[in-house]
Amino acid sequence: MMTLFRKSVILAHRYLGIALSLLFIVWFASGITMMYAGGMPRLVPDERLERLAPLDLSAVRLTAAEAAEKADVDTGQTLLLTVMDRPAYRVNGTTVFADSGELLEEIDATRAASVASRFMNVPTSSITLLGTITEPDQWTIGQSRQMPLYRFQIDDPARTQVYVSAWLAEVTMVTSRRSRTLAWLGTIPHWFYFSALRANQPLWYKIVVWTSGLGVVLALLGLILGVTQYRWSRPRGASGIPYSGWMRWHYVTGVVFGVFTLTWVFSGLLSMEPFGWATQPGLQIPRDAFTGGAVDLARFPVMDPAKWEQIMAGREAIKEVEFLRIHDEPYYGVRTARVLTEPWRRERLHQPYNVAGRLQGNRVFVHADSLAVRQAPFSAESIVARMAEAVPTVPVIESELLQEYDSYFYSRGRQLPLPILRVKFADADKTWVYVDPEVSQVVARIHRMDRVERWIYNGLHSLDFSFWYNRRPLWDIVVLTLMLGGLASSTIGLYLGIRRLRRGARELAGSLSPSSAPAYTRST
């Protein structure tokens, strides 16, 4: 029985390895690339803000309420910014020019080229239209609401491509030859982020789940063979490894790095949340708990340029203004220019829960009635009181204003805001809510299974444990060693699999050749 079991495991591992070893090589190699290259190309908010033209308040003639009336849409997010060198309100995605009240219509390619020219600070003569995008391509998945997009090629050494929304008259995506190449070497093959496949989300999900599931089986079979094939009883001085040559190296690397390979592919599988194992909704905190209701744009008068010059004295130029309601009071959320000292890079390319917070040192809050700049964050007591009032049936068991990150709200590059208010609730899912007190907004909501998945995925997949995650290059040395070991084992496995297939093909060809056919004589 034991012999049959071992033979079955050997055959299953061999042929499953032949099928999946190339995929493992791609996963390991692309994972190494992603450690340093980040994810897919994207236009990050800071870069957009840096390139946005300063706001000319002297040209503003309409109030936000008048702009919303002309837009004739449900009031949602309302911004005041510069569009095509003119101040404009953007009300729930509809753009109304603040100097005349006219609506922005869909722009043509010529005007879109001017938008790209201003954004990139290059002459229009160095811009070439590559086409109009009406369906998401490889770099604009998730931007269907901004369609159509004009795609331009910039004549620069970086081979930059710029996407301009015809409805927003704004750049929504920028890619370079380097960012595109790194994406093709990293995120795209690692997550199967091929546009044709991502367009069919259910199919993409099934392929990722099934391939990673089979990868778990392959790694587990390899570990079983590492134990069962070892010669535990052997003559003195004899090796316990029953293989030689490349097979011996495959055995050694498989035993040494096999546990990491198993936990890595298993955590990758669980990140897809198969069977909905971690999809509990958790405690929902109504947004109105912090705002007090919808924004009343009538409480925002036309912005007086002279007064705002005094308010912003000593600060950078205003780039964008958001109209907010915080704790029942109207506030201008003012964003100023921010010079980028280094490229922004998303630290965790996947996590089991959304973290919406982002450090914004270029943001100022001004009360709409008094025009006083808010100097302090909202108090923890007022935030907790509003949350308790919003969900009166679920008691708050703990609240703490964190001055440093914890194990679930953290950033190696310190890109998330601090301090952060953490509030724990006594609901069935044991939800923790993280609130940015500067603007009194929920930035993360993490329930019990999210915390479990954080350790199973981010812990096992990225090894981002606090005792070394923030200690470079210790983390890099450990992770690279494990990744290279898994890559070596997979590469040797692929070589052995190809050699096995060639030998099998030769044997099959030999058995089918005429010279190998048995000779027959006719009896009389």
Residue-wise pLDDT tens digits, 36-83: 887 889 898 888 999 999 999 999 999 999 999 999 888 789 999 999
Burial (Cβ within 10 Å: 0-12, 13-18, ≥19) of residue 248: middle
- Structure confidence by residue, pLDDT tens digits, 133-152: 999 999 998 888 899 999 99
Across all residues in the chain, what is the average pLDDT?
A: 89
Q: Is the pLDDT of residue 367 over 70?
A: yes
Q: How far apart are CA 32 and CA 55, in angstroms?
A: 42
Q: State mean pLDDT over 383-407.
A: 94
Q: How far apart are CA 222 and CA 265, in angstroms?
A: 13
List of residues 6+ apart from 348 with CB closer than 8 A: 458, 462, 464
Q: Is the pLDDT of residue 400 over 80?
A: yes
What token pair was written down for 314? 């000593």
390 band by pLDDT with thresholds 50, 70 and 90:
very high
- Structure confidence by residue, pLDDT tens digits, 254-270: 999 999 999 999 998 98
Where are the strands (E) in 338-440, listed by range? 363-367, 396-402, 420-425, 432-436
Q: How far apart are CA 228 and CA 211, in angstroms?
A: 26
Per-residue confidence (pLDDT) for residue 523, from 0 to 100: 44
Q: How far apart are CA 326 and CA 292, in angstroms?
A: 7
Per-residue confidence (pLDDT) for residue 344, from 0 to 100: 54
Q: State mean pLDDT over 499-508.
A: 85
Q: Percent of the chain scored above 90 by pLDDT?
A: 64
Whether residue 303 contacts residue 284, with contact meaning beta carbons closer than 8 Å, is answered with no
Helix (H, G, I), strand (E, B) or coil at 194: coil
Where are the strands (E) in 234-393, listed by range? 318-326, 329-336, 363-367
Q: Is the pLDDT of residue 11 over 60?
A: yes
Q: State mean pLDDT over 482-493.
A: 95
Q: State mean pLDDT over 445-458.
A: 89
Flag whether the pTM goes above 0.95: no
**Cis before 123 (ω within 30):** no
Q: Is the pLDDT of residue 20 over 90?
A: yes
240 band by pLDDT with thresholds 50, 70 and 90:
confident
Residue 64 parent element (H or E): helix 64-71
Per-residue confidence (pLDDT) for residue 354, from 0 to 100: 82
Per-residue confidence (pLDDT) for residue 78, from 0 to 100: 95
Helix (H, G, I), strand (E, B) or coil at 394: coil
343: amino acid identity, one letter: P
Helix (H, G, I), strand (E, B) or coil at 38: coil
242 band by pLDDT with thresholds 50, 70 and 90:
confident
204 band by pLDDT with thresholds 50, 70 and 90:
very high
Percent helix / strand / coil, the chain, rounded to 5: 45, 15, 40
Per-residue confidence (pLDDT) for residue 342, from 0 to 100: 55
Residue 517 half-sphere exposure, CB side, CA atoms within 13 Å? Answer: 6
**Which residue in this structure is represented by tokens 């912090």?**
290
Sign, CA dihedral 189-193-195-200, equals positive
- Structure confidence by residue, pLDDT tens digits, 322-361: 999 999 999 999 999 765 555 555 566 567 778 887 777 7
Per-residue confidence (pLDDT) for residue 343, from 0 to 100: 54
Q: How far apart are CA 423 and CA 402, in angstroms?
A: 10
Residue 96 parent element (H or E): strand 94-97
Q: Percent of the chain scored above 70 by pLDDT?
A: 95
Where are the strands (E) in 157-226, listed by range? 161-165, 170-175
Per-residue confidence (pLDDT) for residue 337, from 0 to 100: 79
| Helix (H), strand (E), coil (C) string for 254-293 | HHHHHHHHHHHHHHHHHCCCHHHCCCCCCCCCCCHHHHCC
Q: In angstroms, what is the C-alpha Rg of the chain?
A: 30
Q: State mean pLDDT over 501-515.
A: 79
Per-residue confidence (pLDDT) for residue 524, from 0 to 100: 36
Q: State mean pLDDT over 272-277.
A: 79
Name the least confident of 92-101, 444-453, 466-475.
Answer: 466-475
Question: CB neighbours (10 Å) of residue 368?
Answer: 19
What token pair was written down for 57? 């308040």
DSSP state of 298: G
DSSP state of 100: T
Residue-wise burial string across 39-73, b where 16 or more C-beta atoms lie within 10 A, e elsewhere = bbbbbeebbbbebbbebbbeebebbbbbbbebbee
Q: State mean pLDDT over 439-455.
A: 91
Question: CB neighbours (10 Å) of residue 103?
Answer: 14
Q: How far apart are CA 333 and CA 317, in angstroms?
A: 14
Q: How far apart are CA 241 and CA 258, in angstroms?
A: 16
